[in-house]
Amino acid sequence: MKRRLALALFLLAGSACGHNPGLGTPVPQSMNESISQFLTAVKANDQKRMGELWGTERGPAVNNMNSRALQQRLTVIQKYLDNSGYRIIEGPLLVPGHDDRRTYRVELQRSNCNHVLPIEVVRTHSGGWLVYDVHLESAGNPTGRCPPETTGTKP
């Protein structure tokens, strides 16, 4: 009997000291909140928080990705989305064929110009919202010049 009690206490103590990656900072409950918190983390270069706010319907990337691969991806995302401010221009808009996703058009304010790009969010199985796709192909060169503004329809 004492042996069982000792084993039970040992297992209980071990589980109390263990790390459960499923428990952590709660996932934002609104679409706007997920984008706002993510872009604030980008601006602050807070990759830990970015990893908690970026993911799939399964949950945050920090819980589902190899830590080295996650760090590499977040480093690139942070460089491309670095901003001094932002504003949501349009959204949330439905993503055709994906009831669990919405897209926004977001203006990033950079030191040399403002740039508009789409950012997609996804509803998690647990009911919160995470940034899903930041469309880096639309982010432009983060250190380059802004493309010249053109107006009108030219031949």
| CATH code assigned at 120 | 3.10.450.50
Domain that holds residue 129: 27-138
pLDDT given at position 60: 97
Say what the pTM is: 0.78
- Distance from C-alpha of 37 to C-alpha of 32, rounded to nearest angstrom: 9
- Distance from C-alpha of 155 to C-alpha of 149, rounded to nearest angstrom: 16
Residue 13 lies in a domain: no
Residue 41 lies in a domain: yes
pLDDT given at position 41: 97
Higher pLDDT, 109 or 154: 109
pLDDT given at position 141: 80
Q: What is the pLDDT of residues 119-152, one digit of tens each?
A: 999 999 999 999 999 999 988 887 777 666 556 5
Residue 108 lies in a domain: yes
pLDDT given at position 5: 37
- Distance from C-alpha of 77 to C-alpha of 48, rounded to nearest angstrom: 13
pLDDT given at position 26: 74
pLDDT given at position 151: 61
Q: How many domains does the chain have?
A: 1
Residue 106 lies in a domain: yes
Residue 110 lies in a domain: yes
Residue 56 lies in a domain: yes
Q: What is the pLDDT of residues 10-67, one digit of tens each?
A: 333 333 333 334 456 678 889 999 999 999 999 999 999 999 999 999 999 999 999 9
Q: What is the pLDDT of residues 83-127, one digit of tens each?
A: 999 999 999 999 999 999 999 999 999 887 889 999 999 999 999
pLDDT given at position 121: 98
Residue 21 lies in a domain: no
DSSP codes of every residue in 71-85? HHHHHHHHHHH--SE
Residue 16 lies in a domain: no
Give the CB-side neighbour count of residue 113, counting CA atoms within 13 A.
Answer: 13
